[in-house]
């Protein structure tokens, strides 16, 4: 009886763990944010990011982030002005063009060439973030981002600006959800397996 109970409990624990291990392996199978680097943008000069490799075919998002030293002001300066009366007296705090350079076996070429920054998408967790735009990448190709900054407000310049490139949410968001669900599944079934083993062992001691 004890052997059967231990086997059943072990099987339940294995069933609990396998989905979680699989989801974690998928989450770590890609570099979802291949570039995040501090920048110190000078006026009227080009900034070239470090080169990075795309490890999936699909859309990547290019963003600038700023430390939230004065969130309301920084949001206004990057162009997030909807329903914000405090922004009316402030000028444009960020004026730049951005480019994406691709490199593969065929050579190096721009796939986005000096595109004007137009405020449109904002967000970020623990940062003030603004999206420059997106580009389509090919697995194995290398890329770098070029910025030509015409103007940046002093408040943004001192807010530890960073440039980041991450895979579109459509590629990783569902795996984050699956990770949470698989963890709950593992806890429930794993606890059930432990209880079966404990019940079998305690029952054997009482006989």
Find out whether 150 and 96 touch, Cβ atoms under 8 Å.
yes
Q: Which residue in 77, 185, 62 sits closest to 131, CA to CA?
A: 62
Whether residue 177 is predicted with pLDDT greater than 80 in this model: the reply is no
Q: What pLDDT score does 6 carry? A: 72
pTM for this prediction: 0.74
Find out whether 188 and 16 touch, Cβ atoms under 8 Å.
yes
Contacts of 71-78 with C-beta under 8 Å, sequence gap 24+, read 71/128, 73/155, 74/128, 74/155, 74/156, 74/159, 75/122, 75/128, 77/153, 77/155, 77/156, 78/119, 78/122, 78/128, 78/130, 78/156
User: Which three-class secondary structure state does DSSP give residue 11?
Assistant: helix
Higher pLDDT, 130 or 200: 130
Whether residue 85 is predicted with pLDDT greater than 60 in this model: the reply is yes
Q: What is the pLDDT of residues 24-74, one digit of tens each?
A: 777 677 888 999 999 887 666 788 999 999 988 989 999 999 999 898 899
Residue 119 to residues 1, 79, 93, 168, 197, Cα–Cα distance (Å): 68, 5, 11, 18, 59
Higher pLDDT, 133 or 196: 133
Whether residue 110 is predicted with pLDDT greater than 90 in this model: the reply is yes
**Between β-strands 52-53 and 35-38, what pairing exists: parallel, antiparallel or unpaired?**
unpaired
For residue 43, the surrounding DSSP H or E stretch is none
* Burial classification of residue 154, based on how many CB atoms lie within 10 Å of its CB (0-12 exposed, 13-18 middle, 19 or more buried): exposed
Whether residue 150 is predicted with pLDDT greater than 80 in this model: the reply is yes
The domain ranges of the chain are 2-205
The residue-averaged pLDDT of 76-93 equals 81
Percent of the chain with pLDDT over 70: 89
Q: How far apart are CA 21 and CA 24, in angstroms?
A: 5
Q: Per CATH, which fold does 2-205 belong to?
A: Jelly Rolls (2.60.120)
């Amino acid at each position: 009886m004890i052997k059967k109970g231990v086997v059943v409990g072990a099987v339940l624990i294995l069933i609990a763990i396998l989905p979680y291990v699989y989801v974690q392996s998928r989450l770590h199978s890609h570099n979802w944010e291949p570039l995040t680097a501090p920048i110190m943008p000078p006026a009227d000069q080009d900034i070239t990011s470090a080169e990075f490799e795309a490890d999936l075919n699909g859309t990547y998002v290019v963003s600038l982030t700023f430390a939230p030293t004065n969130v309301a002001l920084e949001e206004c300066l990057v162009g997030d002005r909807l329903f914000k009366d405090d922004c009316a007296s402030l000028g444009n705090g960020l004026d730049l063009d951005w480019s994406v350079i691709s490199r593969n076996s065929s050579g190096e070429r721009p796939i986005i060439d000096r595109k004007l920054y137009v405020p449109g998408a904002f967000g970020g967790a623990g940062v003030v973030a603004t999206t420059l735009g997106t580009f389509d990448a090919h697995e194995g190709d290398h890329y770098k981002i070029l910025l030509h900054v015409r103007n940046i407000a002093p408040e943004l310049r001192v807010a530890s600006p960073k440039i980041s490139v991450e895979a579109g949410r459509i590629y990783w968001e569902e795996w984050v959800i699956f990770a949470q669900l698989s963890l709950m599944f593992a806890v429930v079934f794993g606890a059930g397996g432990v209880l079966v083993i404990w019940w079998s062992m305690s029952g054997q001691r009482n006989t």
